[in-house]
């Protein structure tokens, strides 16, 4: 379990005070296109992240995740479209926009000649004076307070990742943008990072954009996903979509005493239904709200029902479905 | 706000870089060591500036004369050893076989006389810089003539003279007995004066030096006059050879002019002010500079147009006869300027920097001009490292996501690195100045430098040099900074400017003395490689590489050099910002 010290609570408290002031959307990507040498890398994408939201950013290699993220943090220019961070356009109000973002892009390569503290001081000096004061508490947050005065070149990859996270939090950003942040972290470190991000989102209303190719990890972290493929956002999925379904049609698996008759009856009722390949059940596409109507139809038609189970499509299945045409 | 980022860069980028700190320390150590080594090296080498060196390790035996050991670094060592060998070979190896035995005896007598003479000289004038050496060599000319006249009646003298003595036998044959006796008396007197110089009493030796040198000049003038008379007669007989003979006569007249207006006054000046040649004093250096440049001034006369047109060399080097005339006039005024400077310095009784190599001014000026190459390499390294390092280490991604525009980040990087590169050089110059003052005395800094328009403070010249050097450093720094931004590769942005620096120096040396066409001639003054070292522009000598170029119509100048460097620096800096601002950080 991620241990949160008293001082960290104080820091988180600062975050909370800050976030109470504003409620706007933290990140807004509006019709953004990126072309490099006439090749369109990102094509007219729209994204949005609100306070307290952890948004996963998924896509095959080369789909445009890192390009999008680099545009958000100012490492790439924007060919057309607009990106706003806390309402500040990064094209016209760059410094105000960037003051609200903390980020780790790819590996957090830090200055090997400096100590952990030296690195944090170097970056903090480019933010507000408060950022300099936060070094100690941020270091505690990532469990590096005991190693701050060691040279970075003596650090393990995991320790560098922690300093990398620390530098992103120094100035108490309202938006965190993390590109593959778990690279090089051991399972314990991954869990700690996950807990930290969740706690920041929940307690301090920080918005987080995380790109990753580790879907299982994302399932445990994100509230919402954008799936990008060939430079286009192909799907926006919320966790509810995956777990419940609501008005969307879902696959239901019905075990009956006569699967053939059940399939026919369901089709007559206007549902899309067929006997499963193994012949053991009937698969029916039906929205959650229509399930009672379908079952009562079968019962009145004399079909005996043993069980009715919602077929759950995992994030992974969805992801693979959506991106199946992509060359990886 | 910007200053905060500058401080941040200085503190956490520059000072944390072991590489920059180490090179800075080397630079400071160098500036301290320079005056100390200069002094130490000078005392060590002062006696070995000529000769000596070349023969070390050859295993030659030393010679003992009256208990004094003469080594190969003695200026007369080779005369003594070769004469000894010559004498031995006459009796053992049958040299001079065509001489009769009595002639051989006379030869041996002469060689022994010369040997004794040099042995006397070797005991007193023990190093090449001793002013006695020059007179001792002149004396050997008197010695053989005196021997010839003394043995004029000896039937073997002619055979010996033909083999060994530089005597114009045809001319002496025409002389009367009386003339010969007169000549003998005069030469014997001169030889006596030369011998008097072989004393460790410097004052007495200096008196003889003055006497002999004056005698030599006077004899030369007399001989040239005689020769001019003879040539004048010949001209009447052979009017067809008038061009050749007239040119000979003119040459001799110039020599007489030099002897009368330069050399004899120099001798008198030495006598009056007791300036001993090669004594290491600034007065001697000033006087030598004055004499040398006066001579150059007198000898540098333009050729006639016909002569110009008949010389392919001159035609190639100058576009027209008038350009040639202008160039000669420039050289002459250059020489004249140096004469005026030496004269002003001697008159004022304080040395110009150029005459006092072992003075604080010359040593600190020498440091600031001589170590510019090192400063260039240092600034190239700092400039290259500055931005490319961020890309190579990948830290650029964390650097550019801050709430600072790229312009601000780059400006802080640029200024912090530039002020380091330049600051270290300036700091080392100041340290060097202080150490020079300690080693050679601070008083020298108060002495003026002499110019045609009057004495000027040393510092005006020194700071002008520093300012010009800063333009070189800024150029090299900005170019490597630009490469660092464009290539994102430290090695490439170090190698390219340093290869350029070395290549430029080679090109400079190549063009300095080479005949080039008019187009190149007009382009050359705008080539940066002509200005990788500004020292030459602070020396007025027409003999310097710069002087040579200017006199050949390559109009290089300090102002042009500084302008060219600053222009390149500005373009490189502009491009750096342009590239840095636009580029996507793909690494």
Averaged pLDDT, A10-19: 56
Enumerate the H helices of B274-320 as residue ranges. Answer: 282-299, 305-309, 312-317
Cα–Cα distance for residue pair A322/A315, rounded to 1 Å: 10
Q: What angle do CA B9, B13, B14 make, to 5 degrees?
A: 95
Task: Return the percent helix, strand and coil in chain A, to nearest 5.
Answer: 40, 25, 35
pLDDT of residue A138 exceeding 60, the answer is yes
Which of 369-408 (B) contact A at CB < 8 A? 393-395, 397-405
Q: What angle do CA B52, B56, B60 make, to 5 degrees?
A: 100
Q: What angle do CA B244, B250, B254 make, to 5 degrees?
A: 145
| Closest residue, chain B, to A124 (C-alpha) | B402
> Using CB atoms, which residue from B7, B17, B398 is nearest to A167?
B398
> Using CB atoms, which residue from A106, A112, A126 is nearest to B402?
A126
Contact B447, B351 (CB under 8 A): yes
Which structure tokens are listed for A31? 């019709």
Residue scoring higher pLDDT (B487 or A321): B487
Cα–Cα distance for residue pair B313/B301, rounded to 1 Å: 17
Whole-number pLDDT of residue B44 = 59
* Dihedral angle, C-alpha A300, A302, A307, A309, nearest 10 °: -50
CA-CA distances (angstroms) from residue B117 to B85, B161, B194? 16, 18, 10
Question: Residue for token digits 């520059």?
Answer: B14
Tell the burial category of A258 from Cβ atoms under 10 Å away from its Cβ (0-12, 13-18, 19+).
middle
CA–CA min distance A90, chain B (Å)? 10
Size of interface A-B (CB pairs under 8 A): 76
Cα–Cα distance for residue pair A285/B165, rounded to 1 Å: 131
Cα–Cα distance for residue pair A267/B202, rounded to 1 Å: 134
| Closest to A121 (Cα-Cα) out of A149, A146, A93, A141 | A149
- Secondary structure element (H or E) that encloses residue B191, with its range: helix B177-196
Which structure tokens are listed for B200? 């460790």
Cα–Cα distance for residue pair B22/B120, rounded to 1 Å: 57
- Secondary structure element (H or E) that encloses residue A218, with its range: helix A215-221
Which structure tokens are listed for B301? 């006369």
| Closest to B488 (Cα-Cα) out of B405, B362, B393 | B393
Q: What angle do CA A116, A118, A121 make, to 5 degrees?
A: 110
Contact B199, B124 (CB under 8 A): yes
CA-CA distances (angstroms) from residue B155 to B100, B102, B106, B159, B277? 11, 9, 10, 8, 43
| Closest to B48 (Cα-Cα) out of B136, B145, B126 | B126
Q: Which residues of A touch B10 (CB under 8 A)?
A: none
Cα–Cα distance for residue pair B279/B409, rounded to 1 Å: 60
Cα–Cα distance for residue pair B172/B180, rounded to 1 Å: 8
B405/A94 touch (CB, cutoff 8 Å), yes or no: yes
A76/B585 touch (CB, cutoff 8 Å), yes or no: yes
pLDDT of residue A11 exceeding 70, the answer is no
How many other C-beta atoms can be found within 10 angstroms of the C-beta atom of residue A111? 23
| Closest to B132 (Cα-Cα) out of B112, B117, B110 | B117
Q: Does B5 touch chain A (CB under 8 A)?
A: yes
Q: State the pairing for strand pair A207-211/A54-58.
A: parallel
Angle between helices B458-487 and B406-440 (to 10 degrees): 150
| Closest to B567 (Cα-Cα) out of B497, B500, B474 | B474
Which of 301-340 (B) contact A at CB < 8 A? none
CA–CA min distance B365, chain A (Å)? 37
Whole-number pLDDT of residue A312 = 60
Most B CBs within 10 Å, among A109, A157, A169, A175, to test the B interface: A109
Averaged pLDDT, A145-150: 93
Q: How many residues does chain B have?
A: 587
Q: Which residues of A touch B585 (CB under 8 A)?
A: 70, 75-76
Tell the burial category of A279 from Cβ atoms under 10 Å away from its Cβ (0-12, 13-18, 19+).
exposed
Cα–Cα distance for residue pair B73/B127, rounded to 1 Å: 7
Residue scoring higher pLDDT (A286 or B159): B159
Domain annotation for chain A: domains and CATH numbers: 6-242 (3.40.50.300), 246-323 (3.30.70.100)
Task: Return the percent helix, strand and coil in chain B, to nearest 5.
Answer: 75, 0, 20
B12/A96 touch (CB, cutoff 8 Å), yes or no: no
pLDDT of residue A4 exceeding 70, the answer is no
CA–CA min distance A320, chain B (Å)? 28
CA–CA min distance B7, chain A (Å)? 9
| Closest residue, chain B, to A67 (C-alpha) | B586
Beta bridge partners of A30: A82
Domain ranges of chain B: 15-40+361-582, 66-199
Which structure tokens are listed for A57? 């950013």
Whole-number pLDDT of residue A18 = 54
CA–CA min distance B577, chain A (Å)? 15
A125/B405 touch (CB, cutoff 8 Å), yes or no: no
0.90 surpassed by pTM: no
Whole-number pLDDT of residue A226 = 92
Q: Which residues of A touch B405 (CB under 8 A)?
A: 94-95
Beta bridge partners of A209: A55, A177
Provide the pLDDT confidence category of residue A258 given band limits of 50, 70 and 90. Answer: confident
In a structure prediction context, what are the per-residue pLDDT tens digits for chain B, which is 587 residues long? 678 899 999 988 888 888 889 988 998 999 999 999 988 877 655 544 444 444 444 556 777 777 778 887 788 988 898 898 899 888 887 788 888 889 999 999 999 999 999 999 998 888 888 899 989 988 998 999 999 999 999 999 999 999 888 888 888 888 899 999 999 999 999 999 999 988 889 899 999 999 999 999 999 999 999 999 999 999 999 888 888 898 899 999 999 999 999 999 999 999 999 999 988 889 999 999 999 999 999 999 888 888 888 888 888 778 789 888 988 998 899 899 999 999 999 999 999 999 988 899 999 999 999 999 999 999 999 999 999 999 999 999 999 999 999 999 999 999 999 999 999 999 999 999 999 999 999 999 999 999 888 899 999 999 999 999 999 999 999 999 999 999 999 999 999 999 999 999 999 888 877 777 788 888 999 999 999 999 889 877 777 778 878 877 888 999 999 999 999 999 999 999 999 998 999 87
- Secondary structure element (H or E) that encloses residue A57, with its range: strand A54-58
> Using CB atoms, which residue from B393, B402, B403 is nearest to A109?
B393
Cα–Cα distance for residue pair A200/A12, rounded to 1 Å: 7
pLDDT of residue A322 exceeding 90, the answer is no
A167/B18 touch (CB, cutoff 8 Å), yes or no: no
| Closest to A29 (Cα-Cα) out of A75, A91, A95 | A91
Beta bridge partners of A29: A47, A83
> Using CB atoms, which residue from A105, A107, A126 is nearest to B5?
A126
Q: What angle do CA A297, A301, A305 make, to 5 degrees?
A: 75
Question: Residue for token digits 């192909």?
Answer: A234
pLDDT, tens only, A68-83 = 999 999 999 999 999 9
Strand, helix or coil at A116? helix
Question: Residue for token digits 């942005």?
Answer: B493
A74/B397 touch (CB, cutoff 8 Å), yes or no: no
B403/A96 touch (CB, cutoff 8 Å), yes or no: yes
Which structure tokens are listed for B393? 């280490």
CA–CA min distance A172, chain B (Å)? 13
A95/B403 touch (CB, cutoff 8 Å), yes or no: yes
CA–CA min distance B433, chain A (Å)? 34
């Amino acid at each position: 379990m991620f241990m949160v010290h008293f001082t960290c609570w104080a820091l988180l408290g600062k975050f909370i005070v800050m976030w109470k002031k504003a409620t706007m959307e933290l990140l807004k990507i509006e019709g953004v296109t990126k072309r490099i040498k006439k090749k369109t890398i990102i094509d007219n994408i729209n994204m949005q992240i609100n306070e307290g939201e952890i948004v996963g950013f998924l896509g095959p290699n080369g789909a445009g995740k890192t390009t999008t993220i680099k545009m958000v943090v100012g490492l790439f220019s924007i060919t057309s479209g607009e990106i706003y961070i806390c309402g500040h356009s990064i094209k016209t109000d760059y410094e105000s926009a960037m003051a609200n973002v903390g980020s780790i892009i790819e590996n957090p390569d830090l200055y090997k000649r400096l100590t952990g503290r030296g690195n944090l001081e170097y970056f903090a000096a480019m933010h507000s004076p408060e950022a300099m004061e936060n070094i100690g508490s941020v270091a505690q947050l990532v469990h590096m307070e005991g190693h701050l005065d060691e040279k970075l070149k003596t650090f393990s990859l995991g320790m560098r990742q922690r300093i990398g996270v620390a530098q992103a939090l120094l100035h108490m950003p309202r938006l965190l943008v993390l590109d593959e942040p778990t690279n090089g972290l051991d399972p314990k470190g991954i869990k700690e990072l996950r807990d930290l991000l969740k706690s920041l989102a929940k307690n301090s209303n920080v918005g987080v954009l995380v790109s990753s190719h580790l879907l299982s990890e994302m399932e445990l972290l994100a509230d919402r996903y954008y799936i990008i493929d060939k430079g286009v956002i192909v799907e926006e999925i919320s966790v509810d979509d995956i777990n419940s379904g609501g008005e969307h049609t879902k696959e239901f698996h019905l075990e009956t005493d006569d699967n053939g008759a059940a399939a026919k009856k369901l089709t007559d009722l206007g549902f899309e239904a067929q006997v499963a390949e193994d012949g053991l059940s009937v698969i029916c596409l039906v929205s959650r709200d229509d399930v009672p109507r379908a079952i009562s139809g079968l019962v009145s038609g004399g079909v005996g029902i043993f069980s009715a189970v919602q077929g759950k499509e995992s994030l992974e299945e969805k992801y693979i479905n959506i991106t199946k045409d992509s060359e990886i | 706000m910007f200053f905060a980022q500058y401080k941040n860069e200085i503190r956490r980028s520059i000072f944390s870089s072991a590489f920059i700190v180490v090179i800075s320390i080397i630079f400071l150590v160098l500036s301290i060591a320079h005056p100390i080594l200069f002094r130490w090296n000078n005392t060590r080498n002062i006696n070995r500036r000529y000769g000596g060196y070349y023969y070390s390790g050859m295993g030659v035996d030393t010679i003992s004369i009256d208990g004094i050991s003469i080594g190969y670094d003695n200026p007369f060592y080779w005369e003594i050893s070769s004469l000894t060998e010559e004498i031995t070979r006459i009796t053992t190896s049958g040299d001079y076989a065509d001489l009769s035995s009595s002639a051989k005896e006379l030869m041996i007598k002469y060689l022994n006389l010369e040997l004794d003479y040099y042995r006397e000289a070797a005991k007193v004038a023990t190093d090449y810089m001793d002013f006695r050496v020059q007179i001792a060599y002149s004396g050997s000319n008197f010695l053989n003539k005196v021997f010839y006249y003394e043995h004029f009646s000896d039937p073997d003298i002619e055979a010996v003279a033909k083999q060994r003595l530089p005597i114009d036998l045809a001319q002496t044959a025409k002389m009367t007995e009386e003339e010969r006796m007169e000549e003998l008396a005069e030469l014997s007197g001169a030889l006596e004066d030369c011998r008097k110089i072989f004393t460790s009493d410097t004052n007495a030796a200096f008196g003889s030096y003055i006497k002999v040198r004056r005698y030599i000049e006077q004899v030369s003038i007399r001989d040239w006059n005689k020769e001019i008379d003879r040539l004048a007669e010949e001209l009447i007989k052979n009017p067809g050879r008038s061009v050749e003979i007239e040119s000979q006569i003119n040459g001799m007249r110039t020599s007489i002019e030099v002897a009368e207006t330069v050399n004899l006054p120099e001798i008198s000046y030495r006598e009056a002010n007791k300036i001993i040649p090669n004594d290491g004093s600034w007065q001697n250096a000033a006087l030598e500079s004055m004499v040398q440049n006066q001579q150059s001034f007198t000898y540098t006369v333009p050729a006639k147009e016909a002569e110009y047109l008949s010389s392919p060399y001159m035609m190639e080097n100058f576009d027209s006869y008038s350009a040639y005339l202008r160039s000669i006039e420039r050289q002459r005024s250059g020489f004249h300027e140096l004469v005026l400077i030496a004269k002003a310095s001697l008159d004022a009784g304080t040395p110009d920097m150029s005459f006092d190599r072992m003075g604080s001014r010359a040593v600190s000026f020498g440091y600031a001009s001589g170590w510019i190459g090192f400063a260039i390499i240092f600034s190239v390294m700092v400039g290259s490292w500055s931005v490319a390092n961020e890309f190579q280490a990948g830290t650029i991604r964390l650097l550019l996501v801050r709430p600072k525009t790229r312009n601000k980040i780059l400006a802080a990087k640029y200024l912090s690195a530039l002020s380091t590169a330049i600051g270290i050089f300036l700091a080392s110059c100041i340290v060097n100045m202080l150490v020079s003052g300690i080693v050679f005395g601070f008083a020298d800094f108060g002495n003026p430098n002499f110019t045609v328009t009057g004495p000027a403070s040393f510092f005006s010249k020194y700071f002008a040099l520093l300012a010009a050097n800063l333009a070189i450093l800024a150029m090299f720094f900005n170019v490597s900074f630009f490469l660092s931004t464009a290539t994102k590769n430290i090695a490439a942005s170090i190698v390219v400017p340093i290869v350029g620096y070395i290549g430029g120096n080679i090109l400079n040396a190549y063009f300095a003395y080479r005949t080039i066409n008019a187009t190149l001639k007009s382009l050359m003054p705008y080539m940066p490689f002509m200005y990788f070292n500004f020292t030459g522009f602070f020396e007025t000598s027409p003999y310097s590489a710069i002087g040579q170029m200017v006199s050949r119509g390559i109009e290089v100048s300090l102002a042009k050099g500084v302008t060219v460097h600053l222009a390149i620096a500005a373009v490189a800096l502009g491009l750096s910002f342009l590239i840095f601002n636009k580029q996507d950080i793909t690494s």
